[in-house]
Structure 1
């Protein structure tokens, strides 16, 4: 098919005739003529519209001249044509959604078939785009299912009640509707989204998780506490765990993001569309991001590799005036996205929910173990992740760059002491606090040490604490120096295993870190390796 018209002047007859031929080709191969990918320079096949809208877009914005293979509009690839000529398996296409499924490999290899995971998701998208019932224009099967499932979660419906509600709604809808008839069918449909979760039992004293070699234990090997909840008569309610961690694996959801043409394009915005003029507009302009690209060039060369931040904090879901219940979400933020999308709720990925009557405190590392394991897998790389924009498979890697939290939560995550004489994690034993006489609290007034040597503020004693500042700013400790200051590096976790006492507040070797698992992984870089 001649595509030389794409480079011609938009005012020329050649361009007009070529565009008409393209629009006819796209409409002939479209599943829905009102939802066709727009290949203009502004949309890049990520927005949908009818023939008239696409024609206007191309005349106003121009067509993407690099789009020589019209795969989003029904044109088969060379490998697919080869397979068809050889009477191999057929090619299925969904040009409306920007998804192409080939029975042969994307690079022409007949032995490399599309992964079952991708095929299942594509089938889910195709089914979800169907009308809820024949002739329905208001909602789709997927939208109807999500709305009813949200109602189930909001009002605490039992599975039996939800199944009865689906049956009742199905009877009220016209014949031929695609609404599931039971809770099992609804969950099976939604499971293709990769939104599954794991319920991991935990020790009520936060000593261990009942996973891996502790999966079959009935009591905690550290404190001896029963795995099961105790009733009022102190008898064990077997099957009812004393504490539960809700874990939402992030890897399947990262893979789903790249199977969407919109999300996959946004995940490479930092490399393709970011303005690079030396100004700080995005985390990609930060020294940390550039350090990662320099230290591990193979990681930095692949723009699709993910840069992540971890955020955690506690809240009371029931009442702000009560402290009888605590809930700690742990969220991953993807910084590959543009700045206006990074902090949107739809892109903030909940990875775990730590619930219980008491907050995990410094023992939060116990609950972070599954996430740390997945982050290590992501650093080594996840094979065969499908990129819907480029139409190819690649090896996805990810790295954890930052944590986002307030100061008390920072102390829980890192194990750093955040109050008292050594409260500053940078100054450590050079913090130099001042104890207020009447309130008996610590005040930290030596911030003028970071000013230049001859700055006038250094000599303005009356404006600050009636002293002239002549000291120098302390040098932050290296990761190896931090590990030497960790108190009880291999101590067991749990509420019944507090850190060993130190000699006194004036001891110059007073420990400044109280634990090691997550903090030492983070400090030494093991979470990256």
Structure 2
């Protein structure tokens, strides 16, 4: 079948392309399968997918014909030459392999050797290469695939076999099964045992590849002088908790625990969800999961490293009474810290005493409030800013403002009047250390746990006096752990969870999308907020100036 193929490179809107496309579709129509589908030779499908004729026509019209598909073997044209490897939409080499002199790999070796010859250390007195690896490669080029083979070398067969794998998109497992069968059928051949072995052989002549890791922010390559680095040289990002200040501070405080690398550091994650979706909105389930940080970061975050220690189901969320359910877990953590357990080290076949400690918890903001006992829905909701939290009551909701305090004192936005009509002169919030937090805990009154009406007590009224107090409602059960009060970082925020919730609400309110009553109320609060924020900023600024006098 002699057909002019030049049309496949023409403009798809030209008359020549359209007329030739119709001719091709008439040919393809004769080669559909039992389901009325035919292989699609467009630049996306590359003959790997079958479609009905209208879909194939649309692909060829919109995407274009694969220019390297010049022998239409999937559409009726007979393939000439069994040794030609251009089976499926790939450039044809037209190199005969039935002659003893055709060995494409000689040219590849010559190219690589020419680059190596630029290094004077690899050249002998008469200018020949003296690299032992390439001497072995030349020997393989002259080695027959099997004793009776006279037209193909071991290395040439390997290159062609990998070529077929690539153009037909074989999986590595399929390649392994094929070479295993060939080795059984031709026991005297030099066929590699697996895909891994084949790649390693070709990598010697620089036909492989090298994996180079990069920073996730696309700011640096871990290559050459940065090849051995674990942190980004630009931002110094933390890749593992061991690089953090909390881990290192703990090691300095508890030297005996730190000197044994087999002692376990644990992280605790807990959150509530409704396993029945919207079918039963009153049901709540809280899984409490531990993970170990003694393993690399790509292992400790895998599901196989998670330990489901507690599952708290019930018609209501445990909320502020979650300490009651955490009692079995905390008792075990106390035992693992004080006594430890006997474990066997399989690597050296010895018994040792393994201890463990809880490094921190990981939660979203509401769950953090339940575990830390710091209320996250009132005036002083920020546990980091503590008593220095800036908040304002807008209609019936709390709003947290004053974020310009975190800028340096000379920042131009501090002088701007666009936010609330007042410049920001307050300093950033204080850093509350562990000693201060322990003093705040000492002022708390004892509270009987549970949701029984007799135990709940009177509801506190929100007034100016309330704002001066901290929002700790109870001493968390984690403070029973000997080391917990000394930890620099006790609770982590699940950033992705918080980011999703905050961003969704922020975008809806900013765009004033009034599709529901909640967003309408949010809009009204924003309108009310303008006057309230200005008056609050003026009052707090005056208080700040008075405190410095």
Greater RCO, CA 8 A, separation 6+? 1
Alignment TM-score, normalising by the size of structure 2? 0.43
Query: Where is the helix percentage greater, Structure 1 or Structure 2?
Result: 2
Alignment TM-score, normalising by the size of structure 1? 0.45
| Structure (1 or 2) with the larger CA radius of gyration | 2
